[in-house]
Amino acid sequence: MLIKPKPDLTYADVTPRGLYMGRRNFLLGALTTYGAVTAYKRLPSLFGGKAKGSVPVPIQGVQKWPGSTTEPVTPVEKVTHYNNFYEFGSDKSDPARNSGNFLTTPWSVSVEGECEKPRKYPIDEMMHLAPLEERIYRHRCVEGWSLVVPWIGYSLSTIVKLAQPTSKARYVAFESYYNSIVMPWATGTGIEFPYVEGLRLDEAMHPLTLLCFGMYGDTLYNQDGAPVRMILPWKYGYKSVKSLVKIRFVKSMPPTTWNNYAPNEYGFYSNVNPGVDTVPWSQAEEMRIGPGLGLFNAKIPTRLFNGYNEVASLYAGMNLRKYY
């Protein structure tokens, strides 16, 4: 077999990008569709090499989004080695260590519920329903750390419009992939799976709400939610479900994972708000994980809506202390 990968083919998270780029660009040749790319990504498992899961590959033809923050971008090594993805364990270093065998192809996302056009979208098709944009967003975890990440995707509103929600649809429920065989680390983390989240329909329609397929020029790393995830830059990180498999239009406010776990601390809205603490954390400041040495760089003040003031009109007249 001509294109058999070496048995020591390693994951991008442990291989300097420059080293593996050369090889896979050679292997991929002129292939640019996601379908062709995912076919390649399956190969390691066929040959019983060490790498059994999916690895990031470059995404072609991505436009720059004009609204990107100009703050320094967090290095990819940090973003991919300091993660919350409880399906792969609750320690920050667990997802990078344990998600290597996660195979994300074939994959599809079911769009269903209160809508005229329910559909199951194969990931290859879903990825190209709108032009892909690189959007550099701030990304704030409720635990008090923040990142600046160049994500790749398009506004979720594209999918909402295609689905044509009925007049009964007031909320959108999201569900992550879960398989206890593939994700044995989930048991014992204290939360329930599959991981679920939700938005009000108007939040889901907001142009900032990103359906995300990639990061740093590549498809998503497994530990960051491959092959498709949500990114809600004005909300705490836990609202942004990883490895998305279901989008459901519903009449009433859907249950959400962290709200189920501790309703007094984690609300449905979970907008970043320096004035409302989340025990045991203060939300007044954040530790920006930046390009400097070490994880813990300078503390900076946290801003309401994580600085994304364009969403304020969604919450006009609402008491943000009550609707935390």
Ligand X SMILES: Nc1nc2c(c(=O)[nH]1)N[C@H]1C(S)=C(S)[C@@H](COP(=O)(O)O)O[C@H]1N2
| Residues at the contact surface with Mo ion, assessed by CB under 5 A | 84, 141-142, 237-238
- Asked whether 145 and 289 are in contact (CB, 8 A), the reply is yes
92-131 residues in contact with ligand X (CB under 6 A) are none
Q: CA–CA separation, 177 vs 78, rounded Å?
A: 24
Burial tier of 38 (Cβ tally within 10 Å: 0-12, 13-18, 19+): buried
Among 38, 84, 283, 306, interactor with ligand X by CB under 6 A:
84
Q: Tell me the window of 82-90, 119-127, 276-284, 312-320 that interacts with ligand X (CB under 6 A).
A: 82-90
Name the strand (E) or helix (H) holding 150: strand 145-155
Taking alpha carbons only, the member of 250, 240, 232, 252 closest to residue 311 is: 232
Q: Tell me the window of 205-213, 234-242, 290-298, 310-318 that interacts with ligand X (CB under 6 A).
A: 234-242
Q: Maximum Cα–Cα distance for the chain, whole Å?
A: 64
Could you say which of ligand X, Mo ion, none residue 283 binds, taking C-beta under 5 to 8 angstroms by partner kind? none
- Asked whether 226 and 104 are in contact (CB, 8 A), the reply is yes
Query: Which residue, 245 or 314, has its beta carbon nearer to ligand X?
Result: 245
Could you say which of Mo ion, ligand X, none residue 9 binds, taking C-beta under 5 to 8 angstroms by partner kind? none
Query: Which residue, 7 or 184, has its beta carbon nearer to ligand X?
Result: 184
Q: How far is the CB of 168 from ligand X (least distance, A)?
A: 27
Q: CA–CA separation, 133 vs 127, rounded Å?
A: 11
Among 12, 59, 141, 204, interactor with ligand X by CB under 6 A:
141
Q: CA–CA separation, 145 vs 141, rounded Å?
A: 6
Among 176, 256, 259, 270, interactor with ligand X by CB under 6 A:
176
Which residues of this protein are in contact with ligand X, per CB under 6 A?
83-87, 139, 141, 147, 176, 195, 224-225, 237-238, 240-243
